[in-house]
Structure 1
Amino acid sequence: MLTYAYNHETFNNHEELSLVNHQLILQAISDMPLQLQQKEKTLQMENTKLKNENIELQSQVNKLENKHQELINEIQDLRQLVKRVYQEGEVQIQYQKQKNKKLEYNNESLTKALVNLQNNLDTFAQLKNLSSFLNDNNEIQEEI
């Protein structure tokens, strides 16, 4: 009889454990949709947060791309300006070279004219002296 009681008690314990396990399983299964809903809600919130961060980052990328393009345009403008200034400088240099050549030619011409004028003055002085001498000579001869 003792064996029967022990087996019966063990059976009851198994049945109770089985019932407790069954209840825990049912509780876990009933809690699972709530846990899944909470997990889904958490994931949706995280997804929304990431979308907002993505939008903000995309906005920053767009601003940087616009700034990059502005800098490229500014560099191109500066290159064109440097090229134009260089070309204008080349034109100015050619103009100054031509002007210098013209001035050198004028300077040579004026130097030659000055030498000729000095020679003419020397000749005129000699002629004046000769004329004076001849006048003096004529006066002497008239007196004689």
Structure 2
Amino acid sequence: MIELVSRIRRQSITGVVEAAIEEIAGDLDAPFHHNGETNNWSLSSAVTEVWSTDESERFINFCYHLPGLLTYEEQRIWETIKASPVFLDNDDTVMETWWEVEHIGHLDRGSISQFWEKLLEHVEEHKESRTIIPFEPPF
């Protein structure tokens, strides 16, 4: 059926799938957290706010704005970030986040971006731990 739709619309199959997903996303509500409140936003509007070409930035935006949609693995990364002093705003912070994480403070986006790959390796290495092991930069 998708092939016939693509022929009728003179689109690629990928184009038909993308259009269908965009239509669904416009009709689907997502629990979006912003300015201390959670409200339903269309998924397409939420994605617009969360999207970034930088993977670490996109992840932090996702964690802040759509925390109820995190997988267990994503929660472990997020909890590790919040438990790691290297990622918290301090006197040396270059790129402070514009929003505040409750009971934590502001995060240093620059440090998160700088150590992103090492952070992911750290979380994977400690995935069997019953508790969150804070990340320490490899200096």
TM-score range, shorter chain: under 0.3
Structure scoring higher RCO (CA < 8 A, sep ≥ 6) equals 2
Greater strand share, structure number? 2
Q: Which has the larger radius of gyration?
A: 1
TM-score, length basis structure 1: 0.16
TM-score, length basis structure 2: 0.16
Greater helix share, structure number? 1
